[in-house]
Structure formats: structure tokens, C-alpha cells
Structure 1
């Protein structure tokens, strides 16, 4: 069809009506050259106009061909997307960042009160907090797909009952985050956009990998990621933060934990004696103050505290499984090995 249309345009431009009149007198080679040049410009402009009309239709047809679509979310649930979704609700800051980074911000109709990045997200309708989404409000927003986490599995049947697809995120590695980004892009019918977003993550990861490769494995720093200090709580091996620490060249002292967020006695931490302690800098306040550890009984004997190697890292970068995950790994690497990134 497209070829026939272009052919018709070319035929039209070559017909006698488009040829110069016998009354036109061109007496020099320069005149002939200019006439041909103008004729070619006219033909090119017409062909381009036809192509610009046809291509969007071709793109739309291609997107429609992607559906119905079957995807498997992070909990192994099969989700059938029967037609191209138009309206999305995000129940986690990470999903909000993913959708906006994929250029789908205009299709996001609802977010949580904690979705603060990018700035445009703050203008969206608030559908609740982390664990208390307003189902009726989400239904009224005519959402096609709700992007949530394991925290929202109890609401999932309610969404499905109302014909709203629910997709669950539970990324435990950097690669898992990149898979989430591709999954969202496929659901929205824009898989090519995920390649660009993931390419940026890979570029940052490659910079970190190249830098920390200079450090022998036996000389890599042991790390305690301190979620909280009273009681002592850290991260287990099956968490994104643990994977990010490893990618940044650190060795988590809680990598052998049997739970995702294990608690420890101070005596255990003293015995493990980490080289570095990292804790989240919480933008809303209420996080750990590194200076206070020196004044707490028992902590002073730990190398990290004694040597002043207690650092805060941006909570939004290291705890959100979204498109800034590469920046989060870089944040860890700079805290652990600042000399490598001067």
C-alpha cells in the first residue's frame, strides 16, 4: 500500500502537467540546471509529505499487532494484556520513575503520596500510601493497569475483579530492575524505549565495574548496611541493596542471612567488625546520624566507627528498584572507594 502511494506520487509528478510548458524558454545550461533542481525539490517535498502521512499509521498498526500480550511478573504470575493500555496507576515510587523515564508520564493517572520523582509526578492524583491504596479511587480513574509490589498482593484480586490488570514488582538484583523496565515498556507497547533506559544503566554499571576491578577480591571492604541501629537491622542476600553493594565492590557482612531484613545483636556486629558502615539518608528525615554511633556503648570498638568510615547514601537511589539503580550502585562505590572516582 505504501509503495503504491509513493509510486502514484512519482507518476503524478512525471506526468505532462508537471513538465515545463513549450513557452518556457531556457537558453543556457545554468537555466536547465536550475529547472531540474527546482523540479527535484518539488518531487522530494511531495514524496516526503506522503511518507509522513503513511508512517504514523504504520507505527500504530505495528503497536496494535503486539496485543494480546502475555507477560510474567516478578511473582511468576501470568498477566494477559488483551489490548494496548492507555491509563496507568503506580503504587510505588520505583514504578512511577520507570513509567516516566519511558516517556509514559502523560498516561500515568495515579501515584502514591510518596512518589516524588520526577517533579511532574507530584501533580498526579494521589491514590494512597505504600500499603493503603484507595481501590475505588483507582477504579474511578479508569486505570487499565496497576503497577504494584508484593505489599499490594492482597488488593490484586480486587483489581482483577474490576477488570484492571495488576503487575507485581519484586526485583532483587540490578538485572531484575532492568527486566522490570522492559516489562513495563512491553505492556505499554514501547519496548524500544526500554533499550535506551537500560543502556544508560549499563553504561553507569560499566564505569563502576571497570573502577572496582582494580581492587583484588581479598582487599575489598566488608560492609554493614544499617537499615536501623536499635535494634540492629540490615539486608539479606536476596535484596536489591545487597546486590548493589556487591556490584559496587563491597562485601556485605550479612550476605549469609536467612531473611531479607535480618536483625542482629550488637555483639554479632562487633564480631563481624565491618570496614565500612553505610546507612540510608532519608529525605523526609528520621534516618541515622553517623555521629551518634560513636557515643553509643559498644559501637566504638568497630573499625568502621573507630576510623570514621560511617557514611550516608541517598535512600531514593539505593532503595528504589527503578531507572536510577545504576546511580545507586555508583553512590555505593563512591562511598566505599572514593579514591577511584576523583
Structure 2
């Protein structure tokens, strides 16, 4: 009996230790973020972070987020703490979060440091490659205690990603100009996740040598690059009127062949599992561009 009692006591201590084990997750700034227990009150500082938290199975823990956090629909009911580039620090602090998830390239860095100065735990996210989206979801699951759901979503994402990669791996390259906005004329540079999506589809970003996330360019630079396809986003499902502005440049290959395409920015410019939906559309558009090449 004494031996049995000792074993039970040791087992209970072990279980207690596991139950109170510290959670340590490294963020995209290289910092180890530590939590004594899974986060129960989370604030996200970008629309894609709110969406990813729901995908990870922890949407119920979201107590605050920024403007334009509209997916899934439940996110629209969550308290707002300003915009991603102009945060309301008082509103964030008032929510008493045990975890704040920030966007490295989108949030104001001094404001993030002020949040840390207030004693808040901040996790920095910056997925620059398609596969990073799955990793982001998994880490959110660890931080919020929803690993089973998060790991399942990440696994399915990776399977779809690899299938899309295999389907497009040996296709001829298509030179692409990706237009985020008209004025200023804005595109994506080398580190942006959309450049990785273009590569996934066997495309080549004509401004992929630029190191900025979202560089501004000139019309002259686009004409000189002579893309075979132009892909624009705009503000939703509707094709932006300014995509047609390129029609006057009749010598550009993309215009001559009618390769002016549109993708909803919600599925292409948000670093969430839905980006695979956008990538599939992008790959389909580039297939159309290939089909319009003149016969040799």
C-alpha cells in the first residue's frame, strides 16, 4: 500500500507539473514568448491575425482586434482597438489581454514597444512564405491551447500547398506585374508573400528584385518591364476600374493578349489559410495567359 500510495503521489505531482508547464513559442522576430497558461484574452493587431486565430480554433479568446477584421463573420462583433497602422493603446490595455499578436511589417513598431512597456505579452507574426501560414496557425494554437484544431488546419494547408506546387512546378514562366493600388502605383517586392505565391504558380514578379514589401513604381517602369500578365486586387470582388487604364498601352504584352486579371484581396493579401484560394485563382489566371501565347 505504501508503494502504491507513493506511486500515486508521484504521478499526481507529474500531472500537476505538466498542467502548469510554461508555454514557450518563438515569434518571427526571434523572441521567445512565454505564457504560464494558454492565453484566454487575446488582442490581434491585423485583420489576417484575427482570421488566423479563428482558423486555429481559438476565436473565442479574441477580445479585441483592429478595423476591417471581418472574417469569419464572428470577428465583426469583436471590440475595435484602432487600425493596424494606428493603434489605440489605451483601448488595448483596457481589455487586459494576456496576449497581443502583432504584425511586424504592418504595425507601428514604436507603438508595439509601448505595449511591451505596459507589461503586455506581445507575439510578433510575419509570414513571408506560403508555408509560413501553416506555421503561424500552429503557433497560435500552442499559445491559445487549441493545438488539435490548429495542427489539423495546418496539415490540410500543407497538403493543398504541395499539391498546387506539384501541379505548377514545370510550367513555362509568366512575367507578372501585381498591382495592389493605382495611386500611388503600388506592387509587391521580393519578401512579400504574394511574390512567393507568384513563384508557386511558375510566375515571375517583374519587380521581384525590390526589397520593400510594397514598393511604389512608375508607369514607365511597368512599361519597360513589359509583363505578360497584370494581376490587380483593389477593394473586393469587383474588378477595379483602374485595371482598364492599362488598355491604352497597346504595345504591352499583357494588354495585347488581354491578360488583365483581378483577384479579391481578401483571399490574396491576407496571410491566412484562405490565401490558397487566392493562389489557386492566380495559377488559373497564369494558365490563361499561357494559353494565349501565339503559336510558334
SS at structure 2 position matched to 1:283 = coil
Distance 1:188 1:207 in 2: 29
Structure 1 position 181, deviation (Å): 1.3
Residue aligning to 1:155: 111
Q: Computing the radius of gyration over CA atoms, which structure comes out larger, 1 or 2?
A: 1
- For 2:227, which of 274, 285, 288 is the aligned residue? 274
Contact map agreement 2:234 2:264 (CA 8 A) in 1: yes
Distance 2:43 2:71 in 1: 15
Residue aligning to 1:262: 215
Residue aligning to 1:221: 174
1:133 matches 2:87 = yes
In structure 1, the gaps of 5 or more residues are 5-56
Residue aligning to 2:125: 169
TM-score (norm 1): 0.73
Residue aligning to 1:15: none
Contact map agreement 1:236 1:258 (CA 8 A) in 2: yes
Cα deviations across residues 154-212 of structure 1 (Å, max 9, x unaligned)?
A: 22233223332111112111122222112111111232322211122123223322321
Distance 1:61 1:95 in 2: 32
If each structure's helix is expressed as a fraction of its own residues, which one has the higher value?
A: 1
Distance 1:99 1:90 in 2: 8
1:324 matches 2:274 = yes
Distance 2:116 2:221 in 1: 46
Residue aligning to 1:209: 165
- For 1:242, which of 185, 195, 204 is the aligned residue? 195
Cα 1:163–1:113 shift into 2, 3 Å: same
Residue aligning to 2:55: 101
Contact map agreement 2:131 2:158 (CA 8 A) in 1: no
Distance 1:61 1:71 in 2: 21
Query: How many residues were matched structurally?
Result: 276
Cα deviations across residues 267-307 of structure 1 (Å, max 9, x unaligned)?
A: 33222211100011412989553222213xxx222110122
- Map residues 1-342 of structure 1 onto 2, 5 A cutoff: 64-65=19-20, 67-150=21-104, 151-215=107-171, 219-283=172-236, 287=240, 289-295=242-248, 299-338=249-288
Structure 1 position 227, deviation (Å): 2.1
Contact map agreement 1:204 1:330 (CA 8 A) in 2: no
Contact map agreement 2:46 2:103 (CA 8 A) in 1: yes
Distance 2:38 2:185 in 1: 47
